Structure 1
C-alpha cells in the first residue's frame, strides 16, 4: 500500500472535511475506491458573551448564535428575583434595559454588521 502524498481540505456548505490524496498509480485503484473523509465537523462557532455585573444565575444558559446575516442572543433568568440587563452592540444602536422577571426569558436579534459587545446589568 502506498503512503499518502498530501492532505486535502474541502470546505462546502459549512462542513470541513479532511482526507488524504492517494497516488494515481493504476496499481492502487483498490485503495482509491475506499478513500473516505478522516474528519467531518460543522463550522458553527459559538461566540463568547462578555457579561458585566450580571449575576451568575441570570447568565447561566445564555445562548449567542452568530451564524448567518442575523445574530441572536437568548437569556433566561434563573435567579429568585428580577434582573434588568442591557445588550450593548458594536457598530449599531444599543438595546434599552430589559427587565427579566424571575423565570422569564428574552430574545434579542440584530443584523450584520452589528455584533455583540457586552451584556451589562442596568
Structure 2
C-alpha cells in the first residue's frame, strides 16, 4: 500500500532532487528559510523539518555561519539511490493497485514504459 508522505518529506525529496539534478551544486549555500518557504508554499516549521532531515543524513552541513550542500560524493550517490528506490517502490505500489501483476510490471519496465515493442507500427 502506498504510504502518504508528510509535507516535510516531500519538500526534503524535492530539495534533494534539485541538488542531484544540478539546480544546486555541492558546496552551494542552502537557500534561506524564507525563500524555501515561499518556493514550497508551506510554513517555516515544515522547511525546518526538511532541512533537519537532510542535515541528519549528512546532505547539508554547517559551513561558516550558514548551511551548505554537502561535497561528499558518496553521500550524494547513496541519497540518489534511496530517492530512486523510493520512487520505484511508489510506482510498483501504484501499478499493483491498478491490477498489474509482476509479469506485466516487468514487461512494462523492460519496454521502457510501454507494453509493446518499440517496433510496433
Q: Identify the structure with the greater strand proportion.
A: 1
TM-score > 0.5, shorter chain as reference: no
Which TM-score band applies after superposition, normalised by the shorter structure? under 0.3
Q: Identify the structure with the greater helix proportion.
A: 2
Greater RCO (Cα-Cα under 8 Å, separation 6 or more)? 2
Bigger radius of gyration, 1 or 2? 1
